[in-house]
Every structure is written in structure tokens, then in C-alpha cells.
Chains A and B, each alone.
Chain A
């Protein structure tokens, strides 16, 4: 079953700006789906239309087969939204925000209370449950938005840049949390500027640019398209002054750091063997850039060139 089906969706704002130029997209139930694109590409407009915050110009959107025009209540009841900007009442207490949101979805207080408590505990907000939301730190506000989106147990969770501005520790813990709820069956659509995040979490991906879908495939196939990768090698001891290694595209960054560009199919083992033969030991290795980042830039540049 499709958790989300979008057909020929367009949006032209009152000022004439064409934010979406007829996009079509399917997200399967249970998927962890990345919707990526540069700023102003149309990601937030797409999410706004799915969640009824933005009125579409034309096209069709179905959420678990419920058409947002024909059966909007059913469509809305499937969705939990974590928006990009904080949008809760700053004067309301954290727990009240969750219970109210559950109530809007028809969940009575005797069900909403324990559900709110469960989420407050899971997301580390229990101690702050009676605090007005404006007094929370940025990271806590992000977690509150996730708790609020989940309080009615949605089948489709949409996260619009949920980790923007949060520290790496919190980001990692949010990844684990999202992976856990995806494993329990919740379909997740994620937009993010951290491409490492999309690469680690998502199985399928669509890239949107200037209102058009420029790529829509599974993450593995997309990453397989990379024809080269660049690695940074940290060496245990300084390189000899006359060091060369034929057959590899190497750059010496400093005496103990090498940059190596490997073509697709070139094994790392060959490189390490060649280095070992020269008595050079590698202490650590990392990608120069995130793999998805390289593809993303290539795809967005390509779409720019064709427009």
C-alpha cells in the first residue's frame, strides 16, 4: 500500500512564483523516505500541501488512499507533522500541548494522558512537563515537536528538517529514536540539509529542485552511481620526501595526511597493500565528502544546466 501518492502536483503562489511544476511521487508504507533539495526547491511547499497548510493549485494527493480533497479528515488523521519552525503556544505547558494535540485528533484525555507521559519519558522531557514551552532549550523544543507529532500514533510521520540547529549528540539520539519508530511500522518522510542523515536513515530518496523531481530512486542505487570516491588517510608516521605511489591518484595534504581518489571498482585493499609495501601504515581513514552530498550536488547542478 502507498503511504503517500502524489500526482502532477502544482503550486503557483499569488505573487506568480511557481513552487511546484507538476511533481509525482509515491512513498510505500513502512518506508523511510528522504525528500531532499536546495533551499526554495519546493520541499516545504510539498509538505505544506500534504498536511493542508498550503492550498495546491492542481494535482492529486492521497494519504493511505484517502484523497486530501475528498476525505481530508481521514488523510489528516494518518499524518504526524514535525514542521521546520517552532509552532507551539509558548505560554502553554509542555504536557498540555501534547494532550491538546491528541484531543484535536479525537483522543480522549484518559488515553491522551498516558500517551503524553510515555512520549515525555522517551524523549527526555518528563522533568519539563509542567514548564511553559517557551522556557525550553532549542533541542528540547525540537523533541517536543516530535512528541507532539507522534501523540496520536500517526502512520505517516513527516519531518521537515527536524535536526536543524541541534547538536550532534542530540541528532544521533533522534536518529535512533526515528529508526526505532520506523521499525515499528511508521512510515517516515524526512527533509534535511544534513545529507549524512538522509544517507544513514533513508531507504528511498527523491531530490526536488526548482519545483521538479530530478531524481527518485532507492538510496543504494543512487549511491552506486558514484563513479569515484575521495578518501582522507591519516598516517602513523611522516611520509618520506620522495614518496610516490604509481597507479593511484594521490595528493599529499601534509606530511602525515594523504588524499586518495579511487575510481569505482578500485578496491581499498589494493591501495593498502601498495602502501604497506612502502612501509606506510594508515591510522585512520574517512570520506572527504559525504557520498550522497557529491551526488546531490551533481544532480542539482545538472538540473540547473538543463533549465
Chain B
């Protein structure tokens, strides 16, 4: 007789491996585009424009933007993996496979978020390897680098999950990435230090959580940051706790998945 814990572990592993199998199966849509897009970022912003910009924060421009570009790809992919996978499950009704099974809601959430995190990290690794063709990267603070990329992937996977719960069609899973996530990422200090901005816009930038992730990750790799890394961790952990609670509330209520 297997214990409840063992059954839950099997269910979680099943869900996670199904999610990983999914994004590997469709690798031309999931793993290849970020590699190509980020290569173009490095060529255009890093090499061509960056050579005219000179140094930023004590590093050459390609080196300076590399952590932000890696983080941007992690965030986007963690988000879109869960948003599209969970919405597809709703759209094709195969979410019912999970609802009828003895899988508690927190495990459904954990499985999808782990799947999104796995894709985010996988793409992050690919983009890191791509960046090595354009610049030298070293990791100054290993724990901060790894924990920050991991937590950021979890946070945006949670965001993708909530988006998918509310989405009623495919348009509604692209609205938030297009109109909110992408502008926030570009304004989150991926390509510049906020010290270049006037004071007012520096203060406005501090309201953007992506700024904290990008800078804390950059601190982990390069040892330079516009913000205090401790604050970044507190903000991200608070956001994760809030979004997890909200996602579980929606699942328990059956929003978007049960009549």
C-alpha cells in the first residue's frame, strides 16, 4: 500500500515530466526562438551599438546586458510555458484528466509551475551558452545567481498560470506578455543602468519588480547592481507567496476550470 506522500510524489513527477516532454517535443517553438532572438540582441545591441556606447557600470556593454538578456528569456519562457500549456489543457478539456484524478490543487499548481520553471531555466542555459560566443561571463556570487534565476522563473510561471486560469481564448494569453510583461522587461534595466535616468524616472523604475530581478541577477554574475540585493529577494519572495495563495484560491474555487 503506497502512502499518500508517495502517490503525490508520483503525480507531481508525472505532471512535471509531461510538461518537460511537451516543451521538448515542440522545441522549434519553445527552445529555438529565444536562442535566435537573443543572438540578434547580442549582435545588434551588444556588438554593433554597444561598441559605440562604451562601458556601463564598469563593464563593456555586451557584458553588462548579458545577465539582463538571460533573465528576460527566463522570465518570458517560464510565463509563456505555463500560460499556453494550462490554457491548452483547458481548451482541449484534458485538464479534466487532472480534475477527476486524486491530485490536490496545490500539486496541479506545483506541477505546472515546475514545468514552466524547467523551461525558463533550460532557455536561460541556452541563452547563457549563446552569450559566451559574444562576451566573457563569470559568476561572482553563485548562490545569488542561481537562487535569483530560479525564484524569478517560479514567480513568472505563477503569473502565467493565473493568466491561463482567467483566459477564455488564445488572445487572452498573449495580451499580458505583449502589453505588460515586455514593456516592464525593457524598462527593467535590461539594457541600461537606471542611474542614467532622471531622478523621477529612477523612482518610477523602482516600482517595477523586474528591475530587482535583473539587477540582483546582474549582481550575482558581475557584482554590480542599481538596487540592494536583499530587497530584491524580499520582494520576489513576497510576490511568490502572494501569487501562490491567489492561484490556489482560484483553483479551489474552480475558476475557469469547473462549472
Knowing A55-B254, A107-B10, say if A87 contacts B99 (CB, 8 Å): no
> What are 12 A-B contacts defined by CB distance under 8 Å?
A48-B259, A51-B99, A53-B96, A73-B102, A74-B102, A79-B100, A89-B92, A96-B21, A99-B14, A103-B11, A103-B15, A105-B11
A-chain residues with CB within 8 Å of residue B168 when the two chains form the complex: none
Contact of A87 among B96, B101, B103 (CB under 8 A): B96
Binding site for B on A (CB under 8 A): 13, 48, 51-55, 72-74, 76-77, 79, 81, 83, 85-92, 96, 99-101, 103-108, 148
Grouping DSSP codes into helix (H, G, I), strand (E, B) and loop, the B interface class, with mixed when no group exceeds half, is: helix
Least distance between A11 CB and chain B CB atoms (Å): 9
| From A52, A74, A87, A107, contact of B97 by CB (8 A) | A87
Specify which chain B residues have a CB less than 8 angstroms from the CB of A74 in the assembled complex: 102
- Taking Cβ atoms with an 8 Å cutoff, the residues of B that contact A are 2, 4, 6-8, 10-11, 13-15, 18, 21-22, 25, 88-89, 92-94, 96-104, 254, 258-259
- Residues in A with CB closer than 8 Å to B22 are 91
With A55-B259, A74-B102: A104-B14 Cβ-Cβ less than 8 Å: yes
**Cβ–Cβ < 8 Å partners of B10 in chain A:** 103, 106-108
* Contact (Cβ within 8 A) A88 B104: no
B94 and A51 form a contact (CB under 8 A): no
Contact B25–A91 (Cβ < 8 Å): yes
A53 to B101, CA, bound (A): 10
Partner of B6, one of A51, A104, A106: A106
Chain A residue numbers with a CB within 8 Å of B98 are 104
A278 to B104, CA, bound (A): 73
Q: Are A89 and B89 in contact (CB under 8 A)?
A: yes
User: Which residues from chain B contact A92 at a C-beta distance below 8 Å?
Assistant: 18
Known contacts A91-B25, A106-B8; is-contact A73 B104 (Cβ 8 Å) = yes
Report the separation of the CA atoms of residues A213 and B199 in the bound assembly, to the nearest whole angstrom.
Answer: 72
Chain A CB count within 10 A is highest, among B4, B21, B99, B254, for B99
B92 x A90 contact (CB < 8 A): yes
Residue among B4, B94, B98, B99 with the highest chain A CB neighbour number at 10 A = B94
